[in-house]
């Protein structure tokens, strides 16, 4: 179903849709507003990283929701990744996986390559969900990256793609507001790329922990079974432990 055009703003360019939408929210933009930019000049990724995108190769947008919800921010962030995956699967995308906390991967040339990222930000009762989706793989030779064209035979036009994703985000937001992350946990874990595998969690170039990935708890925290018992984590970058794949 097409999105109500009144809730969507398309910009040719802005620094970051997350930043601009937050400013708009503070100035009174309504819950449900969607801000799309063909080009971001200072797109932001997780952990302070830069997010590069281009009009031909990416769909970059943010959605604003206002109101309190039951679950934690960590759980909401995972739920947003799951909503994105479900939307693309419903359109026919194959071999999609999630990587904690909310990277979307797809299988490409025998590897799990990054297809999309989610940057969730909250202030008071405002939540901004920013999504950067590669339509074609970006030229980042040092990273395994994929585009939707790698896992979906027929690409939709951007407005139809946006409507499909925002529709799933809207449903997720309503469910999450009422029930939190717990009912989504089993589905999320079934899609987790390294569930049960030996992994390493890093932060700022430092190893936080190593162990077997046991999935997530009801609040969305990562569970690792390490030599000295199970631990939970709220932040970090996960990778498969070298040599153990």
The correct pick among 17, 145, 189, 195 for binding ligand BTN (CB under 6 A) is 17
CA 139 from centroid of its chain's CA atoms: 20
CB of 97 closer than 8 Å to CB of 112? yes
Strand partners for 211: 199
- Least distance (Å) from ligand BTN to the CB of residue 195? 20
Strand partners for 106: 96, 113
- H or E segment and range at residue 74: helix 73-90
Burial (CB count within 10 angstroms: exposed 0-12, middle 13-18, buried 19+), residue 4: exposed
Q: Which stretch binds ligand BTN (CB under 6 A): 14-22, 81-89, 211-219, 224-232?
A: 14-22
**In which order are the strands placed within the sheet that holds 58-66?**
8-14, 34-40, 58-66, 126-134, 111-123, 103-108, 96-99
Interface map 91-120 toward ligand BTN (x if CB under 6 A): ------------x-------------xxx-
Taking CB under 6 A as the criterion, which residues in 18-77 touch ligand BTN? 18, 40, 43-46, 49, 51, 60-62
- Least distance (Å) from ligand BTN to the CB of residue 178? 26
CB atoms closer than 10 angstroms to residue 108: 18
Residue with smaller CB distance to ligand BTN, 40 or 189: 40
The correct pick among 101, 132, 138, 211 for binding ligand BTN (CB under 6 A) is 132
Residue with smaller CB distance to ligand BTN, 45 or 159: 45
Q: Which residues bind ligand BTN (CB under 6 A)?
A: 16-18, 40, 43-46, 49, 51, 60-62, 103, 117-119, 130-132
């Amino acid at each position: 179903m097409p999105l109500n055009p009144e809730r969507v703003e398309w910009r040719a360019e802005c620094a970051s849709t997350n930043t601009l939408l937050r400013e708009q929210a503070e100035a009174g933009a309504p819950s449900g507003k969607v801000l799309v930019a063909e080009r971001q000049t200072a797109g932001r990724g997780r952990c302070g990283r830069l997010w590069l995108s281009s009009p031909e190769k990416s769909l970059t947008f943010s959605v604003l929701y206002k109101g309190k919800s039951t679950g934690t921010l960590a759980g909401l962030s995972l739920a947003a990744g799951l909503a994105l995956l479900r939307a693309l699967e419903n359109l026919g995308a194959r071999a999609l996986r999630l990587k904690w906390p909310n990277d979307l991967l797809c299988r490409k040339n025998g590897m799990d390559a990054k297809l999309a990222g989610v940057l969730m930000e909250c202030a008071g009762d405002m939540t901004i969900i920013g999504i950067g989706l590669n339509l074609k793989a970006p030229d980042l030779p040092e990273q395994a990256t994929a585009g939707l064209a790698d896992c979906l035979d027929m690409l939709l036009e951007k407005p139809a793609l946006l409507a499909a994703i925002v529709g799933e985000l809207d449903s997720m937001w309503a469910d999450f507001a009422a029930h939190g992350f717990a009912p989504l946990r089993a589905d999320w874990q079934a899609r987790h790329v390294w569930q049960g595998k030996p992994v390493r969690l890093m932060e700022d170039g430092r190893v936080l922990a190593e162990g077997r990935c046991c999935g997530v708890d009801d609040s969305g925290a990562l569970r690792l079974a390490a030599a000295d018992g199970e631990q939970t984590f709220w932040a970090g970058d996960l990778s498969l432990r070298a040599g153990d794949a």
